[in-house]
Each structure stands twice: as C-alpha cells, then as structure tokens.
Amino acid sequence: MNGQIFIVAAPSGAGKSSLVAALIAADPGIRLSISHTTRPPRPGETDGQEYHFVSHEEFRRMREQGEFLESAEVYGNFYGTSSADIRNSLDQGQDVVLEIDWQGARQVRRLFTDAISIFILPPSLEALRERLLSRGKDPLPIIEQRLALAREDLSHENEFDYAIINKDFAEAAKDLAAIVRAARCRRSRQQPRYAALFF
C-alpha cells in the first residue's frame, strides 16, 4: 500500500511550520519531508533537521539532474523537495507532509494527482504582521517584503483542497489532524488493508 502526500502551504508567518510540527509530534504515521534550500540557516536551525542547507551551485546541479520533485524561488532563495526521498517513503506506505509554497504545490499536484493540499490562512493581514514582528526571526525590511508577498500567496488559496484559518492554534491543529485522519478512511486507503472485507 502506498503512502499519501499531504501538501501544506501558507504565507510566511501564518503558522504553517508550527501546525505541521504539532501534527508530526502527535502522529507517528506521518513524516515531514526535509527540503533543500539555498538560504542561510537561522539561529538554532540544524542542517538535516529544518532543511538541507546547500550552496546555489549544489542546488543548481541537483535541479539540472532532475533530483527535485518540485523547486521554487521564494524571497530570493531556492527551495526543493527530493524526489527519491518522497518516492521511497510512499513506496514503504509512509504518509508524507510537504511544507512548501503554492508554486511547489502546483508542481507536486501535476505528478501526484491524489495529493491532498491544505492552505493555512491567518485570521487577518494585520494579525500576520504582528506574528512576523513578534517572532523576531527576520529584520524589518524582510518582514515588509514578506507582507508584500503575502497577498500574492493568499490569492492562490483557491487552488487547494482545504483551508484552515489559524486564529486559534489548538483548533487549527485539530483541523489539520482531522484532514489527515479522514484521508486515511477513504475507501482507496482502507481496501488494501482489509481486502477481505471489500467486494
């Protein structure tokens, strides 16, 4: 039985990473795909944990050799998902969550039409600005750039199967877990496990 791909996208600061982390911590049946990126590590980030940090030259080589399932440029940096890593997990029956942007989501859906896509939205653009300022990870010019691009990100939410408004984190986390649970109850997932029961 093959695993399921779950795509989770959001504008920067909407809480995507925190929600995915909560899902991974609560559900041993799903793993997070670790993307490759050319952006420098933030304080506290470790290579191979949050991202695989690579040079522009290495990223370009991997892309040219077709090693990425999807890749995109975001805020001047490049991100990509290893094709071999995802396919190996799926072949072993492991569910995988891809924490990527709308550009990457488009590419993945073209290859995996049964991928389930989820878009995380902030309760408002003002709330998004407050979150970006309060987390203190980026300088003010970068925050302003992210806010300017957030509207573009939000304009693509209609391309996704599900929308979660992250107003209350606990509720949003429950919503994300419920989508994963419901997907596993689809007949196409249950039939291979319990073939004798299905006619």
CATH of 5-197, one of 3.90.180.10, 3.40.50.1780, 3.30.9.10, 3.40.50.300: 3.40.50.300
- Taking the C-alpha atoms of residue 51 and residue 85, their distance in angstroms, rounded to an integer, is 14
pLDDT in tens, 147-187: 888 889 999 999 999 999 999 999 999 999 999 999 999 88
The least confident of 85-94, 133-142, 161-170 is 133-142
Q: What does pLDDT average to over the chain? A: 91
Residue found by looking up tokens 């994300």 in the block: 176
- Give residue limits of the domains in the chain: 5-197
- Taking the C-alpha atoms of residue 104 and residue 172, their distance in angstroms, rounded to an integer, is 23
